[in-house]
Amino acid sequence: MPSQISVTLGKYRDALNGSRNRYEQIKKERFKNAKQFYDCFFKNLIRRYDLRNFNRVKMLAEQFFQADKVRFAAVDGSCYKKQLQDYMVFFGASYPIRGIIDFSKSDKRFIYEPWSPDEDVSMVAYVPIPFAELNETIDDPFVISDDQKVINLSNIHVQLMELAEVFQAYMLVKSSDLRPKILLWDQSMSSVMNSNDVKYKKINLIGYRYQMRTLTAQDIIIAYSHPYNKQLAIPSKKKYRVYNYVLWKLQENSPQKISSLASELELSEKELLSRINYLTNKNIESDDPLNQSEPISYIDADNLYFNDEYDGSWEYTVGLFEHICKRLFKDKKPDALIYKKKNPEGEVEERWMSPNDLRFLISVGIRALIEECWMHDVLLIGIVKDSSSRYLTRNYLGVMEYIGKYNNIPHVLLPWSDREFLETLPWIDDSLTAPWSTIEFDSVFMTLHIEKDNSGNKKIGGVSGDIVAPPERLFARSLTQFYLNKSKKSPLCGHVIFIDRLLIPSIDKNAEKVRIDQNKDVLGVIEPIVFLNKDRRNDIQDLMMFILNILTRNLYPEVIGYPDPLHKADWGAKSLYKKIKPIIDSSDVPLRANPLHKTLRQLRDELKRT
């Protein structure tokens, strides 16, 4: 008679086999659906590239870069955290790789440029925080809040890495000596912007003293209104943070007629004034009179004026970002994340930066990076290896069908992510060869989607109703495959990768836009950039695909179909991690040898008995 444990394990085996069989059946059904979906509709959204037409791409490169030899750079990072006896140690780093692409050659078109020994280009931070001080990032030590849960499940090391990467990329673009014209980053810029968007009330850095004045909530609001670009009409006119658009207009020309602004934004004057309350309210920071500042703008009759006191606010905030990052990553100051601030009683106290403070610095950095890239015509490309998102096959296609731009889309269940669906295409279409890409779609579709109301009717919505971010006409997203070998019976494929491209104002300003106003009362008017099918002209995507194909050498099986410079940047960042990890791990030795606190057992054993 079998034992009870054998019966239990047998039942688990049967359950596992049953689950696997159901999974295989679902995959077969979804594959059939994917073939129908592709044949009937989606094949018109796939761009194929014949890279033998070298002369056309060479001409595009010469027009955009104004040179045959173009410098590129790639940035990646690594992070680590270690819990010691009395400390938590956080480590974050980034590392760049650089080289040159020669568009005058048809073969051996790029080489790497080594850094000289005296060039310290890595960004490294290691921050040991005593447990006794870890909770000082929380305002009230006796209240359990969502912020405190974030601290207890701390991901500060990930934020340190993101901050190191964005500071690295920003300094490369800002430097006239090192500036690349093509910058690859192992991140999705739109995801970085969205995930680090923190309400100003949760940022403890308000009151941080820098350059003879303190950071105010008004500075944060102005910083969040960036980036600005007149050619792409950024900030946009949508209702979510419509005061960003008003701020941009005021800084372009003050005063602005309130009636004219309301008409331009298709709002009533009453709604406009309620939505720009952050700009006209003096007491937005807190109820504490020590933390009150002058409003960003003020009203006189029908005119809205910009307060000249905030003329240099953006430059001040970027300077603060540079100051903190330089102390943290370049000077390796152990107290870089500690700052002094007055408490509600007016007493000066030291505080550790909270995760929200680091998110704010990342948000400032990504915005400053974008504006520097626009200023110097740098092609900024973010690449992500893996994602389970459905922004293309669910959000984008759903909205485009709803507003009548696409018709006759088969309503079938597809594989459960964009990547899973697109990686079936080489088996569906025998004529597909690498490299190929989907059309580009606006990154605003990360949050803009179709949902159902309580009555079951469809409508266009954002996150929590009206949150639609990042700004439209800022990034273009696409999915691409760079390695596909059909010489065998079964195709050999690299993974489909995700690409975020910063739009180029001088060129993408002419791209087609669609007006989305079907939920105007909640969302306002949203006008994303679109390339509706494979036949729509998109020179920058063509140039980008040619560049990435050059840089994808397929030398390493573990990253086949992935740009080689990013893999080498990953090696550099991991080398920093491998060197520093043993040091961090061994830092507990002196603490154990000479502990700062002792247990009752330790104290008892140390007593001399007579």
Contact by Cβ (8 Å): 206, 353: no
Task: Between 166 and 149, name the one with better pLDDT.
Answer: 166
Q: Does 553 score more than 80 pLDDT?
A: yes
Q: How confident is the model at residue 406 (pLDDT cuts 50, 70, 90)?
A: very high
Helical residues (DSSP H) of 41-117, grouped into ranges? 54-65
Q: Does 525 score more than 60 pLDDT?
A: yes
* pLDDT score recorded for residue 399: 96
Q: How confident is the model at residue 596 (pLDDT cuts 50, 70, 90)?
A: low
Task: Between 51 and 172, name the one with better pLDDT.
Answer: 172
Determine the average pLDDT of the residues in 491-520.
93
Percent of the chain with pLDDT over 70: 88
The 10s digit of each residue's pLDDT in 282-316 is 655 544 443 457 899 999 889 999 999 999 999 99
Q: How confident is the model at residue 600 (pLDDT cuts 50, 70, 90)?
A: low
In the predicted model, what is the mean pLDDT of the chain? 87
Contact by Cβ (8 Å): 584, 80: yes
Determine the average pLDDT of the residues in 52-65.
80
Q: Does 348 score more than 90 pLDDT?
A: no
Q: How confident is the model at residue 609 (pLDDT cuts 50, 70, 90)?
A: low
The 10s digit of each residue's pLDDT in 225-236 is 999 999 999 999
* pLDDT score recorded for residue 149: 43
Q: Does 594 score more than 70 pLDDT?
A: no
* pLDDT score recorded for residue 147: 46
Q: Does 590 score more than 70 pLDDT?
A: no
* pLDDT score recorded for residue 288: 42
Q: How confident is the model at residue 240 (pLDDT cuts 50, 70, 90)?
A: very high
> What is the pTM for the complete model shown?
0.91
Give 154's contacts (C-beta < 8 A, 6+ positions apart). 81, 88, 90, 134, 355
* pLDDT score recorded for residue 202: 87
Determine the average pLDDT of the residues in 176-191.
92
Determine the average pLDDT of the residues in 489-516.
92
In angstroms, the first-to-last Cα distance of the chain is: 64
Contact by Cβ (8 Å): 501, 540: yes
Determine the average pLDDT of the residues in 506-513.
94
User: For the chain, which residues make up each domain, given as ranges?
Assistant: 32-51+395-536
Give 559's contacts (C-beta < 8 A, 6+ positions apart). 567
Determine the average pLDDT of the residues in 425-432.
93
Q: How confident is the model at residue 125 (pLDDT cuts 50, 70, 90)?
A: confident
Residues, the chain: 610
Helical residues (DSSP H) of 66-199, grouped into ranges? 131-134, 146-152, 156-174, 189-195
- What Å distances lie between residue 543 and 155, 379, 438, CA to CA? 37, 10, 15
Determine the average pLDDT of the residues in 242-254.
94
Q: How far apart are CA 167 and CA 329, in angstroms?
A: 9
Q: How confident is the model at residue 412 (pLDDT cuts 50, 70, 90)?
A: very high
- Helix axis angle for 313-325 and 156-174, nearest 10°, is 110
Residue 206: HSE in the Cβ half-sphere, 13 Å Cα cutoff: 25
Determine the average pLDDT of the residues in 240-254.
93
* pLDDT score recorded for residue 610: 45
DSSP letter for each residue of 114-146: PPPTT----EEEEEEEEHHHHGGGSS-TT---H
Determine the average pLDDT of the residues in 5-15.
85
* pLDDT score recorded for residue 105: 76
Q: Does 142 score more than 60 pLDDT?
A: no
* pLDDT score recorded for residue 409: 94
The neighbour count for residue 111, using CB atoms within 10 Å, is: 9
Q: Does 420 score more than 70 pLDDT?
A: yes
Q: How confident is the model at residue 458 (pLDDT cuts 50, 70, 90)?
A: very high
* pLDDT score recorded for residue 131: 63
Q: How far apart are CA 293 and CA 308, in angstroms?
A: 13
Q: How confident is the model at residue 143 (pLDDT cuts 50, 70, 90)?
A: very low
Q: SS3 sequence, 331-383?
A: CCCCCCCEEEEECCCCCEEEEECCHHHHHHHHHHHHHHHHHHHHHHCCEEEEE
Contact by Cβ (8 Å): 374, 505: yes
Q: How confident is the model at residue 586 (pLDDT cuts 50, 70, 90)?
A: confident
Q: Does 140 score more than 80 pLDDT?
A: no
* pLDDT score recorded for residue 337: 86
Of 194, 538, 574, nearest in space to 382 by CA: 194
* pLDDT score recorded for residue 602: 59
Q: How far apart are CA 543 and CA 502, in angstroms?
A: 13
Determine the average pLDDT of the residues in 396-400.
97
Please classify residue 16 by burial: count the beta carbons closer than 10 Å to its beta carbon, then call 0-12 exposed, 13-18 middle and 19+ buried: exposed
* pLDDT score recorded for residue 283: 57
* pLDDT score recorded for residue 182: 97
* pLDDT score recorded for residue 372: 97
